[in-house]
Amino acid sequence: MKKAVKTVGRYAYYAIEFFIAFVVVYFHVFVGGGLIAVGDLKKDGDIQLFVKTNGVHTDLCLPVKSAYFDWETVIPTTDYPGVNQFKYVSIGWGDKGFFLDTPEWSDLTFKTAVNAAFLPSGTAMHVIYHEKAPRESKSVAPIFISEEEYTLLIDYICNSFIYKNEKIDLIPNKGYWRNDNFYEANGNYHLFKTCNAWTNNALKLIGVKTGVFALSSDGIMRHFQE
């Protein structure tokens, strides 16, 4: 009996040690990966777009129509009957359960938080159509890229959607407001692949200054303030 108790105690000790080590490693990755910068910030280019944050989540905000691409060909404006003008579109990727079940922070449940953080879970694309351009602020940063870089970004975003019958797959009646919707997305969400990691990877793909491995919005947005 004493031997069994000692064995259980030893494994419990190992589990605690592992958990502490994991927390320490994740903290260093979470913070440190966003502090180390890669890429550049250009003052002009073929196209201007924006990176937006609500303090937790980041989106890419793009002109709906440009000389290089029309987002209406991918994201049907018929899904947004409450919008009168389609000037800019914000697009983000994230945990499907978190997106759909947490329209307000007060709606967040322990189960939703744990599933998003610790279990590889399904994902969704959040799309918001805007009737005017965003204003630059601490939460909205303008960036400039070339035509070639924009082509890479378009492919990256389009490949994040799941398609059904050659159209992006709408999740009906789940938008928060009159100008947003959710769509099925590729990939799984977990601690090391967050909504901000999706934005971070997009920025690294097109050579825009960002954290080398940013999991938080701060790991992205801090580099636009320098």
Which residue in the block uniquely carries the two structure tokens 């799984």?
Answer: 188
Which residue in the block uniquely carries the two structure tokens 């064995």?
Answer: 7
* Per-residue model confidence (pLDDT) at position 23: 40
If residue 204 lies in a helix (H) or strand (E), which one and from where to where? helix 195-205
Which residue in the block uniquely carries the two structure tokens 């899904």?
Answer: 79
CA distance linking residue 89 with residue 223, whole number of Å: 23
pLDDT for 118-177, tens place per residue?
566 799 999 999 999 999 999 999 999 999 999 999 999 999 999 999 999 999 999 999
* Per-residue model confidence (pLDDT) at position 36: 86
pLDDT for 36-72, tens place per residue?
899 999 999 999 999 999 988 999 999 999 999 999 9
Which residue in the block uniquely carries the two structure tokens 């189960």?
Answer: 111
Instruction: Look at 89 and 2; give whichever has higher pLDDT.
Output: 89
CA distance linking residue 59 with residue 155, whole number of Å: 16
* Nearest partner of 191 among 29, 61, 46, 35, judged by Cα: 29
Q: What is the pTM of this model?
A: 0.83
Tokens of 87: 């000037």
* Per-residue model confidence (pLDDT) at position 10: 43
* Per-residue model confidence (pLDDT) at position 99: 86
Residues 90/60, Cβ–Cβ less than 8 Å: yes
Which residue in the block uniquely carries the two structure tokens 């994230």?
Answer: 94
